[in-house]
Amino acid sequence: MADYFSHALILHLIIFQAVILLVILSNALILRQARKHAPPLLFPKVSLIVPARNEEKNIAGCIQSLLAQDYPSFEVLALDDQSSDATRSILEQIASTQSKLKVLIGSPPPESRSGKNWACVQLAQQARGDLLLFTDADTLHRPQTLRLIVTALIGEQADLLTGFPRQEMHTWGERLLVPFFSWAFFCFNPLWLAYRLRLPALSNAVGQMMLFRREAYQAIGGHESVGSSIVDDLMLARRIKAAGLRWRVVNITDLITCKMYHGSRAAFEGFAKNLFAAFDFHLLGFSFVYLWLVVMFWEPLIILVLSIFGRAPEARVEQLATCIGLSLLLWLIPYLELGIPFGLALMYPVTLLANEVTAFQSLRLSLTGRLTWKGRKLTRPHVKWF
């Protein structure tokens, strides 16, 4: 058994990591290629949709960046989702001088829907664009963003276009937790295969940038179809894939930035809400993935330390060096592609531990029915074994 963990398992990990490295490299190429299309002769009208609840720190910057788009035909719709801060007054003040901005006042969500999903339902009902861009109130968009992502959507003949913005992080909790979801997508979702197979589990989306063709959004039932789902972006992407529609991902780190959380505690609470939900509350799959991540990235380090002290005589230094070197590449390349500081990739063992703790909290809160977000109690999820 000791020989297996210090030698045979390391060889298996090297093979697995080499495959993941190929996935990462191919994904980086595919995401970049989606930006290489020529602009269309005629740009369709776009509705830019922003749900906002207690976003007084972010909402002005977000809305102003959307209103400043270098694009021929668009409207901006923002909904105040029963905020208890100055979000509504900020929106109304901007709208008083900007005719492109329409401000909606949200009604309380029905029991069968989450607050954000219900806010998006209300917004989509008022949208008049041929394309619908859903984004979050904590994002900032460069003036050329809309023109370039619409060009990508039309060039890729996509029904849903999504991508990962550059994340703004200031505390250590944010640095350790925020990049993890994007990194996992980059490593474990081979786009060359996901684009060809009608498997909803291989699709993904980021709520900070989801650009839909209106007819596709309506065909899958829009946000009404995802009810009380905590991860509406993932569910919508999976519905697009299940319907046989075309889903594509594009590199947008140079176009959109996002400040997801203000502080370590907020980041921990936010991801504790989402991590188990991203697995649709399938207990065994969730547990296996997080256990395997520990094995893949921590086991070689543990064996290396044991070998230094003569406790793992079967270990081979060249194999351990190869395995740990591949581990670094598996974190470094996605981080560089996603615009995440180089130094954080070197801290991958700590990053992984932080996310393991958060995953356990996500599981605990889900099982006990104690999930909350922005002062609202979330519907207790139905946990499944498989």
Q: Has residue 156 been placed in a domain?
A: yes
Buried b (16+ CB within 10 A) or exposed e, 143-176: eebbbbbbbbbbbbebbbbbbbbbbbbebebbbb
Q: Are residues 93 and 193 in the same domain?
A: yes
Regarding beta strands 166-167 and 139-141, do their DSSP bridges make them parallel or antiparallel, or are they unpaired? unpaired
Question: What is residue 112's predicted lDDT score, i.e. its pLDDT?
Answer: 65
Q: Is residue 216 part of a domain?
A: yes
Q: Which domain holds residue 77?
A: 39-263
Per-position pLDDT tens, the chain of length 386: 567 767 789 999 999 999 999 999 999 999 999 999 999 999 999 999 999 999 999 999 999 999 999 999 999 999 999 999 999 999 999 999 999 999 999 998 887 667 789 999 999 999 999 999 999 999 999 999 999 999 999 999 999 999 999 999 999 999 999 999 999 999 999 999 999 998 998 999 999 999 999 999 999 999 999 988 889 999 999 999 999 999 999 999 999 999 999 899 999 999 999 899 889 899 999 999 999 999 999 999 999 999 888 887 788 889 999 999 999 999 999 999 999 998 999 999 999 999 999 999 999 999 998 888 777 777 788 888 87
**How far apart, in whole angstroms, are the C-alpha atoms of residue 270 and residue 267?**
5
- Residue 108 resides in a domain: yes
Residues 205 and 331 in one domain: no
Do 11 and 46 belong together in one domain?
A: no
Asked whether residue 173 is assigned to any structural domain, the reply reads yes
Residue 382 in any domain: the answer is no
What is the SS3 assignment for 40? Answer: coil
124 and 208 share one domain = yes
Contact 226, 117 (CB under 8 A): yes
Residue 165 falls inside a structural domain: yes
306 and 252 share one domain: no
- Among residues 332, 15, 25, 13, which one has the least CA distance to residue 190? 25
Q: Clarify whether residues 149 and 54 are in a common domain.
A: yes
User: Is 43 found in the same domain as 21?
Assistant: no
For residue 183, being part of any structural domain is answered with yes
Q: Tell me phi and psi for residue 383, to 5 degrees.
A: -85, 135
Do residues 75 and 178 share a domain?
Answer: yes
106 is written with which tokens? Answer: 């949200």
Kindly report the three-state secondary structure assignment for every residue of 110-127. CCCCCHHHHHHHHHHHHC
Q: In CATH, what number is assigned to the domain containing residue 249?
A: 3.90.550.10
CB of 307 within 8 A of CB of 315? yes
**How many Cα atoms within 13 Å fall on the side-chain side of residue 22?**
7
Residue 87 lies in a domain: yes
- Whether residues 249 and 311 fall in one domain: no
**Do 53 and 146 share a domain, yes or no?**
yes
Where a domain ends, among 194, 228, 263?
263
Instruction: Tally the domains of the chain.
Output: 2
The SS3 call for residue 83 is coil
Handedness of CA 19, 24, 28, 31 (dihedral sign): positive
Distance CA 375, CA 56 (A): 16
**Are residue 71 and residue 171 in the same domain, yes or no?**
yes
How far apart, in whole angstroms, are the C-alpha atoms of residue 115 and residue 120?
9
Same domain, 229 and 95: yes
